[in-house]
Structure 1
Amino acid sequence: MEFQKAKNKLYQKHMKHILLLTDFSESAKNATNYALQLFQDQASCFYMLHIPQKSVYTTSDLMAAGTSSIYNSLVKKAKTKLDKYVKTLESNSSNKKISFETIVDYDVLTDSVNQIISSKKIDLIVMGTNGVTGAKEVVFGSNTINVIRKVDCATLVIPKGFQYKKPHTLFLPLDQTDSLNSKAFLKLLSYVKTFKTSLDVVRVIPQDEGTPEAQDQEHLKTNLKDTTFEYQLVKNKNIHEVVAQYLNKNKADLMALLVQKETAFERFLTASDTKKISDDLKVPLFIFHSH
């Protein structure tokens, strides 16, 4: 009994708190399945969040509510569906070190996510891509874009239909403003070490100007003593072109971006050749926020 208590405390100390966003679409379900397999050897608590669209507020729902709270009636219906889904996930999982908690909310998505991050001490958000709704959202749908822009938490986006395979290589493209001496990079390294992947770093400098190569190499050697890594410097090309070429020629299992507001990620989304990138971007993408 004492041993089990000590074991449980150890699990809790190293437990990952992961927020899964679901609308019950195939894309969301695939992202959830990927996350469960990715963390299959980790002690993890998965918080499953569902925010029903207002279009599901049907007349029959309102009539069925009667004199009871309409809000409670709608939440109960959604919660029942979510709980049923989670029970299926639990029964199909062989990982005895995981737990689930379901959350139904009718708040604005990003407001709800931010509240949960604070109250549950979330380490990572996992979500799928969710459709194209505009020129800036060729790669990701609007919900994904809003989470990346407005939520300060590591996020893992899983491409629609991507089948899980154990990751061996993580690809990190950097533009001239990205720093390896940042909290964002240290967060990335924690996942590199957790998954025991190698790291391929490509620094992209659009023009033939001064480079931080020596500094980059120093940071990598200092922080990746037990990790295999490669470093490459590319000049006179844009980051979109380099990403496309790399993903076409190499077998990366994960990709990461160090996102700075209104800089690299915005350019990644709005550049004229983003459509080509979206066609080639077939690996899960980590987003880490720089400050």
Structure 2
Amino acid sequence: MKTILIPTDFSENAMHAIDYALQLYKCEQTVFYFVHAYADEVYGFLKNSADTSISERTTNIEIRVKELLNDLISTKEEKVHNPKHTYKAIASFESLVDAVNDTVNLFNIDLIIMGTKGKTANKSITFGSHTVQVFKYVKCPVLAIPETYTYQHPKKILFPTDYNLPYKRRELKLLDTLCQEFKSDVHCLHISDFEDLSMRQIDNKKFLEDALPNAYLSFEQTAVQNRVTAIMNTIDEKAIDLLVMTNSRHSFLEDMLYRSTIDEIGLKIHLPFLVLQNLSR
């Protein structure tokens, strides 16, 4: 049984991510945890009001959030009745990152699925600040869904990699399960000026092949040039449905995440983006 965590602020983007998740795991026994973190709502309001105590404000917001979460579950149970799916609601008086981390650890979450932007995100950017924070600080795979993306089976997957670091077997198992369900092609893109691999890279590549037995794997190599350009060109050329990258120490993705936002570096993707967290747990 899969355990999926979906943070929600009840925005259209969050609802879109929920709909994507229900489609993606349509045929699998899955428990979905809908999580809303409301600490910012409490403290943000108190900055502008001296009339309400923090305990009263917290209680009022908690009641409202629980009602919204229960309404959300009722709506999904009625409109998308699926006996394979179970829904759980969590209202958390924490920051988003803390709430997500706590839920991941408590329920052994397999995957986080979330929208790329929330209610207040700038429409001109690809990823909102909350999404980037989850990418950076939550040690669990994260699948971000753009608000304009229309669901398609992830049959063509792009996996840029330099083969320099060993992979996490559990996270590759997550990817392999998707490949088994959708009979997916996985295009492994090695962005490097050197065609020959080191012994370590060869071992990691072999591990990748062994850990993805249900994927139709292909391997390509391209010069470094501009990594973003190489990724975007491949997405267009291969009609990619899902981009997968690994967040590891000193990786290309880590470099992107720790420079304000991804958008400043130009990675403007408009398809689902799965981030595997190859970090110490």
Give the TM-score taking structure 1 as reference length: 0.80
What is the alpha-carbon distance in structure 2 between the residues aligned to residue 123 and residue 59 of structure 1? 40
Give the corresponding residue for 1:260. 248
CA apart distance, 1:252 = 1.1
Q: Distance in 2 between matches of 1:174 and 1:139?
A: 22
Q: Between Structure 1 and Structure 2, how many residues are aligned?
A: 270
Moved more, 214-223 or 70-79: 214-223
2:22 to 36, 56, 59: 36
CA distance in 1, matches of 2:160, 2:70: 39
- Which structure has the greater CA radius of gyration? 1
Q: CA deviation at 1:133?
A: 6.9
Distance between the aligned counterparts of 2:186 and 2:236, measured in 1?
17
Is 1:109 equivalent to 2:81 in the alignment? no
- Paired with 1:181 and 1:47, the residues of 2 have a C-alpha distance of 24
Q: 1:1-291 maps to which residues of 2 (within 5 A)?
A: 15-52=1-38, 53-54=40-41, 55=44, 62=52, 69-130=56-117, 138-175=125-162, 177-180=164-167, 184-205=171-192, 207-208=193-194, 210-212=196-198, 214-215=202-203, 218-269=206-257, 270=259, 277-279=266-268, 281-291=269-279
| Residue in 2 that maps onto 1:8 | none
The alignment's C-alpha RMSD in Å is 3.2
Query: Which range is displaced more, 80-89 or 232-241?
Result: 232-241
> In the aligned structure 1, how far is the partner of 2:261 from the partner of 2:98?
31
Change (3 A) 1:90 1:56: farther
Q: Can you give the 5+ residue segments of structure 2 that lack an aligned partner in the other structure?
A: none
- What's the secondary structure of 1:164's corresponding residue? coil
Q: 1:25 is aligned with what amino acid? A: S
Conserved 8 A contact 1:181-1:219: no
Native 8 Å contact 1:175 1:239 kept in 2:
no
Q: 1:274 to 1:145 in 2, by over 3 A?
A: closer
CA contact under 8 A between 1:259 and 1:287: conserved in structure 2?
Answer: yes
Letter in 2 for 1:40: K
How far has the Cα of 1:102 moved from its partner? 0.7
**TM-score, normalised by the number of residues in structure 2:** 0.83
For residue 147 of structure 1, what is the amino acid of its counterpart? V
- Alpha carbons 2:37, 2:92 under 8 Å: kept: yes
1:107 and 1:226 map into 2 onto residues whose CA distance is: 39
Residues 191-244 of structure 1 deviation map (CA, whole Å, 9 limit, x = unaligned): 323443121111111x33742575465335434444311111123434212101
Alignment partners' CA distance in 1, 2:29 and 2:110? 13
Deviation, structure 1 residue 277: 4.4
The residue type equivalent to 2:129 in the other structure is S
Q: Name the amino acid aligned to 1:50.
A: H
* Cα offset, 1:31, TM superposition: 0.7
